[in-house]
Chains A and B, each alone.
Chain A
């Protein structure tokens, strides 16, 4: 590649006056964005930076002024040496307008305030005002903008138009048409991003109604993003609706661990229960979206079946130290050549690093992870349903061809050459082993969150934590290192997996690893892993770090 092609073109800047102060913005910036950057938030409904701009809601109106030209076709300058403006006598929408040289913007003049009041009055004319029972309360732009900019009184005495309510417009979405303000964000999202143009606006004027074609449903794997971008309580998540008032939710930045994409998220939790996760903007990963499958794949964390206490020698052992000691001596009783370890591509880097340490402590040669694949798409969803295959490769738990050693492990167990198995967060029956074959193992150790056929057969069960219950890092399919934060605590005696693995390794070797916190684990890991040199958990930040790996 020539250097010429890689040097970015210098951005052309234009001078724009916003509420009397001059700023510079790159050409092509939308006026609404320029105002935001200047600290003047402009209310908006239809505008979304990742969708086309129809300019239909009129909420974003401002006053615009063009530089006044003298007879010499040069801008006339005021006493401050800056252009004087000719103000357009009507308010203009700021979402569809790009900045131009000398442009003037007034974001809070009387005209703008009146325009906002007028728009909001119209929007509320047919609105049911069922705010007390609306699930959008707390994050409703219609409430917020009415509060901030709206008229305080109604002049409307007529009957409101009635529209369909509580419509199951798709398997995961409930629609209230009376609350819809017809911004068309949902329609544009489905058409432009999800590429599944199933919703539209039928009828006309105040009868206009959002609907799905009667022969179709809004069942795209991306449908719940319409709930996020719907500014009002028209589209609501059937899963989350009425579960919790949003202002009670404690928000924690995280990412989705249901596939190798790792969409950035915000987890909403209260009193140690996770209620929802919503996408968090990251231009390098998921823009502003996530898929429905990943979004809803967390209810198992709240399951009443969660494993709450360790099991050793087949019986409950609430004392972790005793459980780990018993597990360690059982594993040590077998020669290393007769033991295999299966880790999981759902484990964090820190856990995988410690699992690699465990294989060394025991001298295990045969180890791998279990690949999980399923249909992907070309939007976000990856065929690799393990969130951290890249981390497992990086940390040496598997080779470039993840899962290649599993048949050998399964054969060894069947043939009796493998007598001990450590399986971390996976179900061994997924290797095609029958429960009876698992029972042939002399020592079966597993970490798990929920009961499965492996935990049923295992003499040693060490209950671990889910993605929302721990800190740690993973590497997504494009080599981006991302960070999990703890939103809730694991239930019962279940532990953070890094603590389990550290404890088990120490019980085997009899020496301390000197790891007191997850930060210590990361430090030890980055010291041993060239691709992670110089990094720490805090340096990963909320948006992740691109690693120098392909």
Chain B
């Protein structure tokens, strides 16, 4: 697996924070990999395990435990819609449906379950997933597009917002 030099530097820096047990660097490394590659491949799992002197199953446990880690690539633009109670009451479901229509993503209901890959538009530009609370319950429905935060999203504004990411 090819690891860019800057990433390697960041990895070694992260590991240096845990002189007692390299194992503790597992999560920081997973974040670095997801940032770099957009998801955690099986190859990445093997690489990290090897780097930290662990078994692959030790890393796989973490990747599957935390919902923020993906094992499949997402779209270039990744949309997270909060589905927790206040946002749900404020129309999050409707928002997600409208976003899917606008981005051409076919959103099947069964993908609301556990540990399913995010749904990606046919052109690979957008992906969408429901997430738990984004910590702005008073201004639902709330969503994040990549690292940008949007509150009280009105369905009419969707096209305008998305146009920034096309």
Q: Do A and B come from the same complex?
A: yes
Q: How many residues of B contact A (CB 8 A)?
A: 14
Q: Which residue of B lies closest to A199 (CB)?
A: B57
Please give the distance in Å from A214's CB to the nearest CB on chain B.
8
Q: Mark A181-214, 1 if CB is under 8 A from B, else 0.
A: 0000000000000000111111111010001111
Q: Which of B28-36, B60-68, B97-105 contacts A (4 or more CB under 8 A)?
A: B60-68
Complex Cα distance, B58 from A155, in Å, reads 36
Q: Mark B76-98, 1 if CB is under 8 A from A, else 0.
A: 00000000000000000000000
- B57 lies within 8 A of A216 (CB): yes
Residue from B57, B65, B114 in contact with A197 in the complex, judged by beta carbons closer than 8 Å: B57
Q: Is A512 positioned at the interface, with any CB of B under 8 Å from its CB?
A: no
- A213 lies within 8 A of B60 (CB): yes
Complex Cα distance, B48 from A213, in Å, reads 14
Q: Which residue of B lies closest to A212 (CB)?
A: B57
Q: Is A7 positioned at the interface, with any CB of B under 8 Å from its CB?
A: no
Complex Cα distance, B64 from A200, in Å, reads 11
Complex Cα distance, B114 from A212, in Å, reads 19
- A200 lies within 8 A of B65 (CB): no
Chain B contacts for A3, CB-based, 8 A:
none
- Grouping DSSP codes into helix (H, G, I), strand (E, B) and loop, the B interface class, with mixed when no group exceeds half, is helix
- B64 lies within 8 A of A198 (CB): no
Chain B contacts for A198, CB-based, 8 A:
55, 57
Q: Is B56 positioned at the interface, with any CB of A under 8 Å from its CB?
A: yes
Within 214-255 of A, Cβ neighbours of B (below 8 Å) are at 214-216
Q: How many residues of A contact B (CB 8 A)?
A: 16
Chain A contacts for B67, CB-based, 8 A:
204
Complex Cα distance, B60 from A214, in Å, reads 10
Residue from A197, A199, A203, A212 in contact with B64 in the complex, judged by beta carbons closer than 8 Å: A203
Residue from A200, A204, A207 in contact with B57 in the complex, judged by beta carbons closer than 8 Å: A200
- B57 lies within 8 A of A203 (CB): no
Q: Which residue of A lies closest to B56 (CB)?
A: A213
Complex Cα distance, B65 from A202, in Å, reads 6
Residue from A201, A205, A207, A215 in contact with B56 in the complex, judged by beta carbons closer than 8 Å: A215
Please give the distance in Å from B26's CB to the nearest CB on chain A.
13
- A207 lies within 8 A of B115 (CB): yes
Please give the distance in Å from A348's CB to the nearest CB on chain B.
42
Complex Cα distance, B115 from A201, in Å, reads 14
Complex Cα distance, B23 from A197, in Å, reads 14
Q: Mark B25-60, 1 if CB is under 8 A from A, else 0.
A: 000000000000000001000100000001111101
Given contact pairs A197-B54, A202-B65, A213-B55, a sample of 16 additional A-B residue pairs in the complex whose CB atoms are under 8 Å apart? A198-B57, A199-B57, A200-B55, A200-B61, A202-B61, A202-B64, A203-B115, A204-B64, A204-B65, A204-B114, A205-B114, A207-B115, A212-B57, A213-B57, A215-B46, A216-B55
